Each structure stands twice: as C-alpha cells, then as structure tokens.
Structure 1
Amino acid sequence: MTIQVNITPNGRMSLPADLRKRLGLTEGGAVFLEETDDGVVLRTAAQAVARAKAIAQRFTEGKPEASVDAFLANRVAESGE
C-alpha cells in the first residue's frame, strides 16, 4: 500500500487517521524511519523492537553464551561484585 503524505515547510508530516489506528498510534507515539537503498521505511516502536529481536535471534541462535543473562553474569564476574 502506498500513501501520500505532505511535509510542511517546517518538516512536519501527518499520517492519515486510518493508518495511525491500524498501527496503534491513535494516542500518538514514536515511529522510526530507516533510510534504505530502496527508500524510507517507517516502523512503530513495537515493530522496530520486534525486528531487532529477530535480527539478534539469527546471530545468537544456538549460542547460550550470547544471552542477556550470560552477558550480565560475565559482567558481574569481571567486575568482582
């Protein structure tokens, strides 16, 4: 789906209400823009977190030493606490 939005001279843009509703942004919220070779991708905070988790999963799958808990345990051990 392609939606045209206009950008004001001061750089503001408004997302259509139906799109904000579908994205769960009815009360406002943060969105993230990613510049890619193909253009710009807009993601909600939840979508950005889900994408980051999926990427992390690809790199840590099958590596228990790469977990957050293992990282924190190593930091505690290294600090002598």
Structure 2
Amino acid sequence: MTVQVNITPNGRMSLPADIRKRLGLASGGTVYLDETDDGVMLRTMPQIVAQAQALARQYRDAPGGNVDAFLADRARESGE
C-alpha cells in the first residue's frame, strides 16, 4: 500500500490514523527509520524483533547453530 504523507518545513510528518492503529501506535509511540537503496522504511520495534527472530530461526537447526551444540563441540575439541 502506498500512502502520500506530507512533510512540514521543520521535518514533521503525520502517519494516517488507520496505519497507526494497525501498527499499535494509536496513542503514539516510536518508529525506526531505515534508509535503503530503494528509499525509506519505517518499522516498529515489534517488527524489528520479529525480523531478527526469523533470521535467527534460519540458523537454529544448522550444525553448531545453537549454544549447546557450540559448547559440546568445544568440549570435544579440548578433550573434556
């Protein structure tokens, strides 16, 4: 969905109420701005955390991909 948002001369912008409500920002809050090659992305902290968790899940079941496996490998290597 593309929404036009105007920016005031002092840099302020307003997110439409329906978007703020969907993002859990109805009574205000914080968004994080990422500048990318494609433009600007606004995300909430829950969105950032969900993305980090999804990334971590990719490696969770990989060989040596968790702390227990890492420690077991190191113990084997040191002869414990």
- Provide TM-score, normalisation by structure 2: 0.71
Q: How many residues align?
A: 67
Once the two structures are superposed, what CA deviation does each residue of 1:48-71 show, in whole Å capped at 9, x if it has no partner?
A: 1111121233244431228xxx7x
- Give the aligned partner of residue 31 of structure 1: 31
Helix, strand or coil: the match of 2:40?
strand
Q: Which has the larger radius of gyration?
A: 2
Whole-angstrom CA distance in 2 between matches of 1:21 and 1:48: 18
- Provide TM-score, normalisation by structure 1: 0.70
Once the two structures are superposed, what CA deviation does each residue of 1:13-59 show, in whole Å capped at 9, x if it has no partner?
A: 10011111111110111111111111111111111111112123324
The alignment's C-alpha RMSD in Å is 1.9
- Give the aligned partner of residue 5 of structure 1: 5
Whole-angstrom CA distance in 2 between matches of 1:34 and 1:24: 19
